[in-house]
Structure 1
Amino acid sequence: MAVHLCSVSSLSIPPLNRTGIFTVRALGSKDFGTLTSQEEKVKLGGSELKVSRLGIGAWSWGDNSYWNDFGWNDVMTKAAKAAFNASVDSGITFIDTAEVYGSSLALGAINSETLLGRYIKEKKAQDPGVEVEVATKFAALPWRFGRQSVTSALKDSLSRLGLASVELYQLHWPGVWGNEGYIDGLGDAVEQGLVKAVGVSNYSEKRLREAYEQLKKRGIPLASNQVNYSLIYRLPEENGVKTACDELGITLIAYSPIAQGVLTGKYTPENPPTGPRGRIYTPEFLAKLQPLLNRIRDIGQNYNKTPTQVALNWLIAQENVVPIPGAKTAEQAIEFAGALGWRISNEEINELRSLAKEIKPVVGFPVEKL
């Protein structure tokens, strides 16, 4: 059973068949893999919240500074909506946004939360039973003080989203000060029924353990830590964050899991990414990356998968990891779904890690070191 992608605005994803499996294909003969009912939902850390095994990041939606070459427009808005619909229709229902994505604070064109809320409302009008697990984040800005700043910001996010509550609320990064108050605010949000689970983002091992213990005293689990993690950015493996997550039962949510598009094989030394990404993924870096990309491509051919799907599957195979690649189009979202329902071998996992070690890591988000 197949879905033929004729245009990003006219998608139709079939329901699960009797075996609990459906196949998703794009236009042509390329196999975009299978989703299994067993992989549709996983528990987020020690919370009761269940999310899809793979999520979608909405960082680029409405952004006009880091993404979209300062040119967000109606065409991009429609493409983002198609990406949302394709994600949900293919079983990827965990969508991650933040109050600063697309906001005026970040020189954005339209807030990502506003767009996501609009897309959810329109989707539910067509299918009232559709489920979407929404995750958003609190910006630990220097002028925000105390626990009440967290619940106040969350209520503003809920207003933009048009929702009474969200599934996951996260601290976007550690504050320069006031972190204990922020953690208390997360606990308050749970007790006030504004959120089902809480997490942090860009937290070091030390800060992660502190946040975990502080919430534990109130009987509230720390569900997740969202960090930069990909085959070519494995700092969470090296700085103790991944080990701490596994030990404490905290799910690691991996942002930039395909290295902002670089692991798709789309970019070459002759065709580097535009905008700010071009200063990170330079032609020199891309030249050194080619042996790894070639091996990813070879492995993908063995499974009839794309390099993108192999890179995401490598992360999923690390266990206790939920990748959230950014989807700007429906075709991208459908391709991401093909990372589920299969596994590369342990030998291939180790081989790719070994090849990746030959490449000097790119610069991450500075707050990771706070």
Structure 2
Amino acid sequence: MFDAKVALGTWSWGSGVNGGDQVFGHHLTQTDLQAVVDSAMANGLNLWDTAAAYGQGSSETILGNCLKAYPRDDYFLSTKFTPRFAGTGDNPVADMLADSLKRLHTDYIDLYWIHNAEGVEKWTPLIIPLVKAGLVKHVGVSNHNLKQIKRAREILNAGGVQLDAVQNHFSLLHRQSEETGILDYCHQNNITFFPYMVLEQGVLTGKHDATHPFEGDSNRARTYNPMLPKLNELLAKMIKLAGQYHVAVADIATAWVIQKGTTPIIGVTKQHYIADTKNTISLKLASADMKSLESLADQAHVNTQGSWEHSMNES
């Protein structure tokens, strides 16, 4: 459905509630991130994923400002309507979209998501007139289980709109979207699956382990540091494979999800990550290596489901 092999995520760019400083402990400047955008665009990486909820709009603001110098046709924008931040107007989806359009300095969004499955019947119909008006080109749903995805698709189809994308948490350590049939359903129905948290907020980069935990008091540090001792064998295998394939450790985790037939969202915060991200696209892991990684991930017995997520196993 979409040409890009990866999307570049900006969850960690904003600040404040749900922003990069609170979630990740990042403190990134506009200058820092302009260099990231310029490098990505120069390397043909032009699909950008954000959300009104990230830093209460500050991620969108930074991304919009960084892309301002580029022709609108040169990049692809993905952003989201988040139900729990909905207003009280006649169409809260349209209202949140209008604010996103202003922050992103554009008059349309290429891919607009319903961020959570809180009220599939309520929110899904409200996106249909936005597509008809040309404000939204493609529609996706995020954090929906299979039953909810199917229902959202039915509602959209009844209004003459396609469901083009699904975005869920999916990584070596969190494979519910594969286990519950969501991936297969997407492949069978020409729906692009965009996994997020592919690197588990940096855990699968090889930079952190039991003796090198995340510093500070971010949400990430509190969540993942207790898990690190259980991941020693998986991380050791990833480091070994990175040496064999001559890539960064993070590329192993990203290549694994790409070979599952997905288009991963990769969080980028530094310019030098762009070259690694581009290299990942052409990396092919051997089948035996794929299975070995999955086996070691299973043996770790960690639960990386986010506090905002519902189990994909729910009916």
Task: Answer yes or no: same fold by TM over 0.5.
Answer: yes
Match of 1:294 among 236, 246, 255: 236
Instruction: Report Cα offsets for 1:297-353 as digits up to 9, x if no partner.
Output: 21122221111111100100001x111111111112222111012311112111111
Partner of 1:159: 102
- Counterpart-to-counterpart distance in 1, 2:157 and 2:66: 35
Contact 2:49 2:78 in 1 (8 A): yes
Kindly indicate whether residue 49 of structure 2 is the aligned counterpart of residue 88 of structure 1: no
Q: Deviations over 1:90-135 (max 9, x none)?
A: 12111100001111xxxxxx6111111111113x2xxx48611100
Partner of 1:338: 279
Contact (CA 8 Å) 2:101, 2:107: kept in 1 or not? yes
Residue 34 of structure 1 is matched in structure 2 by none
Change (3 A) 1:304 1:314: same
**Deviation per CA, 1:9-66, whole angstroms, max 9, x where unpaired?**
xxxxxxxxxxxxxxxxxxxxxxxxxxxxxxxxxx2xxxxxx34110111001122455
**How many angstroms does 1:363 deviate by?**
3.3
Match of 1:101 among 51, 54, 61: 54
Q: Percent identity?
A: 29
Match of 2:64 among 99, 117, 120: 117
Distance 2:89 2:305 in 1: 28
- Which has the greater radius of gyration? 1
AA in 1 matched with 2:220: R
Label 1:158 to 1:258 Cα distance change in 2 as closer, same or farther (>3 A): same
C-alpha deviation, 1:194, in angstroms: 0.3
Conserved? CA contact 1:98–1:136, under 8 Å = yes
Which residue in the other structure is 1:266 paired with? 207
2:258 equivalent among 309, 312, 316 = 316
1:303 equivalent in alignment to 2:283: no
Q: For residue 266 of structure 2, give the secondary structure of its aligned residue in structure 1.
A: coil
Confirm whether residue 231 of structure 1 aligns to residue 154 of structure 2. Answer: no
Task: Give the direction of change, closer, same or farther, for the CA distance of 1:141–1:355 in structure 2 (3 Å limit).
Answer: same
AA in 1 matched with 2:223: I
Q: Distance in 2 between matches of 1:342 and 1:281?
A: 27
Q: Within 1, Cα distance between the matches of 2:86 and 2:111? A: 24
SS at match of 2:95: helix
For 2:30 and 2:213, locate their aligned partners in 1 and report how far apart those are by CA, in whole Å. Answer: 25
SS across alignment from 2:267:
coil
* Cα distance change, pair 145–349 in 1 and its aligned pair in 2 (3 A): farther
The aligned runs of 1:107-146 (5 Å cut-off) are: 111-122=58-69, 124=70, 128=71, 131-141=74-84, 144=87
Shift in alpha-carbon separation, 1:145–1:117, aligned structure 2, 3 A: same
- Relative to structure 1, is the Cα distance of residues 322 and 152 closer, same or farther in structure 2, using a 3 angstrom cutoff? same
| RMSD of aligned alpha carbons | 2.1
Structure 1, unpaired ranges of 5+: 1-42, 44-49, 104-109
Over 3 Å counting, the alpha-carbon distance change for 1:147 and 1:354 in structure 2 is farther
Greater per-residue helix proportion: 2
Q: In the aligned structure 2, how far is the partner of 1:338 from the partner of 1:346?
A: 19
User: Counterpart of 1:220 in 2: which secondary structure?
Assistant: coil
Alpha-carbon contact 1:94-1:134 (below 8 Å) kept: yes
- Code of the residue aligned with 1:286 in structure 2: it is L
In structure 2, give the amino acid aligned to 1:309: D
- Residue aligning to 2:139: 198
Task: Give the Å deviation of 1:191.
Answer: 0.5
Shift in CA distance, 85/152, structure 1 to aligned 2, threshold 3 Å: same
2:92 and 2:186 map into 1 onto residues whose CA distance is 27
The aligned residue for residue 8 of structure 2 is 56
Partners in 1 of 2:290 and 2:86 — Cα distance? 44
CA shift in 2, pair 1:243/1:312, >3 Å: same
- CA deviation after TM superposition for structure 1 residue 156, in Å: 1.4
1:168 aligns with 2:115: no
Against the structure 1 CA distance between its residues 130 and 166, is the aligned structure 2 distance closer, same or farther, given a 3 Å change threshold? closer
Moved more, 93-102 or 325-334: 325-334
How far residue 72 of structure 1 moved from its aligned partner, in angstroms, is 6.4
